[in-house]
A and B are shown apart, each in its own frame.
Chain A
C-alpha cells in the first residue's frame, strides 16, 4: 500500500538557519503530495501541495518540489523563524485506485524546534 517516510525529529535549528525536512513516498498511482503543519494545541493546516511531477508548492517561505524520479517531496525554507516551531507532516493522496475519497496517507511527522 501507499506509504510516506519522513525524517524523524526533533529537529532543532537556530533562527535564520536553512531548513530541510526530507520526505519520500511509495504509491502505486499518481498521487498528490502535501505538507501539513500542526502548531502547538492546534489542528492540521495545509502548508503547501503539488499535484504532479515537477510541480513546486510554496507558501510562507516554504517550498517543496514533487520529484517523481526520486519519489521525494522535501520541505525547505531558507531562513526559519521561532514561529515556525511546529510538527510538519508529509502526506499523499490519490496514490491508489480509490480516487479522491481514499483519504490522506501521512508520515509520522517531524517536530521542528527553532531557537532564538
Chain B
C-alpha cells in the first residue's frame, strides 16, 4: 500500500541552527501539506503546496519556514534559525486532490536544545 515517508524520524538540533525535514509523498498525489504537533497539543496546519507553489499557509508559517519540492519525489520543510518552541512532531501529508483524504507520514520529532 502506498504511504508517505518522512526522514529522519527524530532530529535534535541546537537553537539557531537550520533544519530540513524531508518527506516523500505518495507518487500520484498533487497536494502536499505540513502540520506540526507540539507535545500535548493539537495538530496544527502549517502549509499546503500545489503546482509547485504554496496554496495556503497558517499564521504559524512565517518567514522562518519554507517549503520546496526540489525534484519529482521529495517535499521538504526548512526551518531557519530554530527556536526552542519549534520543538514538535512535524507531519507531512499528501492527497490526490485537494478534496480527498490526506495521508499522513509517521512524523519527524524535532527537538531543539
Q: Which residues does A use to contact B, with CB under 8 Å?
A: 32, 34, 36, 42-46, 49, 89, 91, 93-94, 98-109
Contacts and interface: CB of A to CB of B under 8 A. Distances in A.
Given A89-B43, A106-B44, A108-B41, 5 more contacts: A43-B105, A44-B91, A46-B102, A103-B56, A106-B45
A10 to B, nearest CB: 12
Interface of B: 4, 31, 33, 35, 41-48, 50, 55-56, 58, 91, 93, 95, 97-107
Contact of B56 (A36, A98, A107): A98
Main secondary structure of the interface of B (DSSP, over half): strand
A58 B58 CA distance: 30
Contacts, number: 68
Nearest to A89: B43
A112 to B, nearest CB: 16
Given A43-B107, A106-B43, A100 B91 contact: no
Contact of A102 (B42, B56, B103): B56
Contacts of A91: 43
Contacts of B31: 100-101
